[in-house]
Structure 1
Amino acid sequence: MPSFSHDPSSPKDTADVVIVGIAARGLAAAARRAGLRALVLDLFGDDDTREFAVAAIPLRRTGAFAIDPDDLLEQLAIHAGPDVPVVLGTGFEHAPEVVEELARRFRLVGNGRPTLAWLKEPMMLERLLHNLGVPHPRIFAERAPGGVTTLEKRIGGSGGWHVRPAEEARGRGWYLQERLEGRTVSALFLGDRRQARLLAFSEQWCAPCEDAPYRYGGAAGPIRLDPEIEASIGAALDRLVGAAGIAGLASADLLLLDEGWSLIEVNPRPGASLDVFDHAPLPPLLRLHFEACEGRLPELALLTPEAAGTVRGAAIFYAPSSFEMRLDPLPEWVADRPPQGTRIEAGEPICTLFAAGRDVSEVRDVLARRQDQLWHDLSMASRKAAE
């Protein structure tokens, strides 16, 4: 475990933790709050990511938003020693073999290939949930029975880009999940490979576009659910952590139905909810991640809106059309700040917007107004620079 209080005489550019992900600003900010110096490797190299890190190393991408594993291993070999802990963010659920190689060569803090296989191989997850008595949608490898509406998903996909209504899976690497209607929420929890500690619930929403009707939009919390539902979810996560060996921070995507609830997906890593919950009164979440991976869970009650004092939200802002980043400075409620001159294509994520309010509805209203304001300012600045 890294030291969370430093010798003032130690070199300022020495990293205590290596953070890797498609976009790692949230984890870099969490490291700063936990008192850690982070070396960050991601695809974007946003300005605020660089501010949080002792160094930020750009990674080569394959496809739209995928990390080139060969480049990652090469950069880690150059910049990260074998004794510095490595924490993974998004980008590895579809590549358990890469996670296995990282665990072999570096000090990986989090979930390895066996846990990823249980949680990200759809047929294995369905069998596990069935055996544990955890409610979940049905999974189909190729085609669903008549009368069952389904969504096609990519194995190990994240961010909702890959999800669409379909009657038949397109082939290898894809599957169908029964489509259920309900309220989408997420449970943030810790695991110590034996039991779970439920930390908070948030509400999620989509930012649909023509090619991706279930594209992730944002989240806000904390929220409270029916006490019986909360207890049922907590007990189910206990069983799931013990069976799959989940360690550290993780989240479970859930649907609240007219009667009961259903578990849609488990993300066995720190994720987007850091932006919502890595604030007082909760202690630094990355510190809790390290402690849980060492087998220690905190004595924390479920976070309530009353205890938090406010509801916080974070939303992804996708570009309505192509433009060049020329607005400087950006508002203080903007994170994941692209460097000046960055070309952003239509539909790509521009940044993350923050807001706070009395409830989820108020937070979403503020986020919507800020998105409109920011797009106006970005468009004006881009046009002015082109004149």
Structure 2
Amino acid sequence: MKNAILIIALSARPFVVAAARSGYAVTAIDAFADKQTIESAKKTVVVGFDEQGFIADALLKAITQLDLSDCLGCIYGSGFEAQPNLLQKIAEVVPLIGNAPETVNAIKDAAQFFSALGQLNIAHPAVFDVLPDKDENNKSAVYLKKFSAGSGGAHISLVSLNDAKLNNKKLLNNEYYQQQLNGQSVSLLFLADRQKVEVIGFNEQWLNPRDTMPFRYGGAVGHIELSNSVGQQLIEAAERLTVAFGLLGLNSLDAIVQDDKAYVLEVNPRLSATVDLYDNTVENLIDRHVQVCLNQEDFGSEYQSQQSQVQKTQVKKHKAHAIMYAISDTEIVPSIEWPSWVVDTPFNLYETKKILAGAPICNVTAYAESAEAAKQLVYTRVKIVQSLLKIKTSPHNKKANNITIVEKV
């Protein structure tokens, strides 16, 4: 058994499962405590969340109640974008394994990030503090209103020029307008050591919209093929941003590809959902993150060169995942037999669990020999699970507290 490690993310399951598989004794803190997280972690702590991420006081209280005497450090995912000061408070209790709080703060500061993109000559959609009254070059232009410290697409809304006067009220801190570009939504998952990057994989992402969240994250497929030009543009952008901001460990870069040109949208300076797409080809990904962050690995060493060659010669299975959200309030009975390819399933051994409309129910996965085949298979499987959940059951017992602890016996 390796060191004990703390993992905190709104949905920590992919990181917890990977770390446990690598031999770490994991304590997990997340917002859902799904079945797979509880089964993989030594202890799972559930902390409430809101539009800002984790409820700060509840999270800090939960951490102070843990025995971290033999803990190597804390790996984190989503839940901190809007409150990097919370990361700093955690760092005062347990070492962070990942980007420093000041790095997260800088990347998620809209003015600082887009200024850096301009200085580094990295293509990106036009951004504005105030919507233009008209756009003579493109009268049909559509704009987005974004919050740079958001995640999962819930922070994005559509704004048209016809609504400019209505929508041009003062923006909140780190809000901005951005021209919407149509194209392929992609991301680059990469490992960084503040100076260099190592490509883990390119991914295609898609939406699962609802009326109030038209850009809600729906899913992704890994190991996609991009043109050499687009791939190189994304890698160069990651390299320049790594040096500029001192990025460390696993990070992801989101972009839109239009006419063979990549336009950078944002960088997630933490473990992202797409880490889950590489559990079948990069078995030591959490190990790599830990080793690079703790300076235990000579980044770009002969070992890594050999590993890269091994990975290139392996047959790569493409993995896709799709988040299933509740369209209406949905009750999950304990007797449901989930297919083996469904994860993030509710942990309800004895009671019916109510999932509120708009909340995630589970995550459907699929592996295939091509990205397109994986996408089609995961879409088919989503329909199977939708049919499975057409069950009416008794009311659910509501939970009142912000913190729940589930300990493996």
Task: State whether TM-score is above 0.5.
Answer: yes
> Which residue in 2 is equivalent to 1:10?
none
Q: 1: CA distance between counterparts of 2:51 and 2:101?
A: 24
> Which residue in 1 is equivalent to 2:323?
316
Q: 2: CA distance between counterparts of 1:306 and 1:223?
A: 16
Q: 2: CA distance between counterparts of 1:134 and 1:82?
A: 44
Distance 1:68 1:169, change over 3 A: farther
Which of 60, 65, 79 matches 2:66? 79
Percent of pairs with identical residues:
29
Which of 95, 102, 110 matches 1:107? 95
Q: Which moved more, 1:23-32 or 1:301-310?
A: 301-310
Residues 100, 113 of structure 1: 8 Å contact kept: yes
TM-fit CA distance, 1:262: 0.8
- The reply on whether 1:158 has 2:135 as its aligned counterpart is no
Distance 1:50 1:260, change over 3 A: same
Give secondary structure in 2 for the equivalent of 1:108: coil
Q: Tell me the C-alpha RMSD between the 2 structures.
A: 2.2
Which of 116, 127, 131 matches 1:128? 116
User: CA offsets per residue over residues 275-318 of structure 1, 9 Å max, x none?
Assistant: 211223x2321111112213433335499898443211011001
Give secondary structure in 2 for the equivalent of 1:172: coil
TM-fit CA distance, 1:83: 5.6
Q: TM-score, normalised by structure 2?
A: 0.85
> Which residue in 1 is equivalent to 2:127?
139
Give secondary structure in 2 for the equivalent of 1:79: coil
Q: 2: CA distance between counterparts of 1:351 and 1:20?
A: 19
User: CA offsets per residue over residues 27-75 of structure 1, 9 Å max, x none?
Assistant: 11111122211000111111111001000011133x3683111111111
Q: 2: CA distance between counterparts of 1:333 and 1:370?
A: 9
User: CA offsets per residue over residues 234-293 of structure 1, 9 Å max, x none?
Assistant: 12211110110100001101111114111111011111112211223x232111111221
Residues 152, 169 of structure 1: 8 Å contact kept: no
> Which residue in 1 is equivalent to 2:38?
50
> Which residue in 2 is equivalent to 1:27?
15
Alignment of structure 1 residues 91-106 onto 2, 5 Å = 91-106=79-94
Q: 1: CA distance between counterparts of 2:86 and 2:393?
A: 44
> Which residue in 1 is equivalent to 2:294?
294
User: CA offsets per residue over residues 74-132 of structure 1, 9 Å max, x none?
Assistant: 11111142662111111101111111212223211111222112211111101111111
Distance 1:123 1:302, change over 3 A: farther
Distance 1:294 1:188, change over 3 A: same
> Which residue in 2 is equivalent to 1:378?
389
> Which residue in 2 is equivalent to 1:261?
262
Alignment of structure 1 residues 200-219 onto 2, 5 Å = 200-219=201-220
Higher RCO, 1 vs 2 (CA within 8 Å, ≥6 residues apart): 2
Residues 53, 81 of structure 2: 8 Å contact kept: no
Q: Give the aligned residue type for 1:371.
A: V
Residues 200, 303 of structure 1: 8 Å contact kept: no
Aligned residues: 370
Which of 334, 340, 345 matches 1:332? 340
Q: TM-score, normalised by structure 1?
A: 0.89
Q: 2: CA distance between counterparts of 1:56 and 1:288?
A: 23
TM-fit CA distance, 1:143: 2.5
Residues 322, 382 of structure 2: 8 Å contact kept: no
Distance 1:318 1:302, change over 3 A: farther
Distance 1:91 1:336, change over 3 A: same
User: Which blocks of at least 5 consecutive residues in structure 1 are unaligned?
Assistant: 7-14
Q: 2: CA distance between counterparts of 1:195 and 1:202?
A: 20
User: Which blocks of at least 5 consecutive residues in structure 2 are unaligned?
Assistant: 136-140, 396-409
Q: 2: CA distance between counterparts of 1:246 and 1:141?
A: 27
Give secondary structure in 2 for the equivalent of 1:75: helix
Distance 1:334 1:132, change over 3 A: same
Residues 98, 248 of structure 2: 8 Å contact kept: yes
Q: 2: CA distance between counterparts of 1:124 and 1:79?
A: 36
Alignment of structure 1 residues 177-326 onto 2, 5 Å = 177-280=178-281, 282-295=282-295, 296=297, 297=299, 298-299=304-305, 301=308, 307-326=314-333
Distance 1:82 1:253, change over 3 A: farther
Q: 2: CA distance between counterparts of 1:169 and 1:305?
A: 50
Distance 1:315 1:250, change over 3 A: same
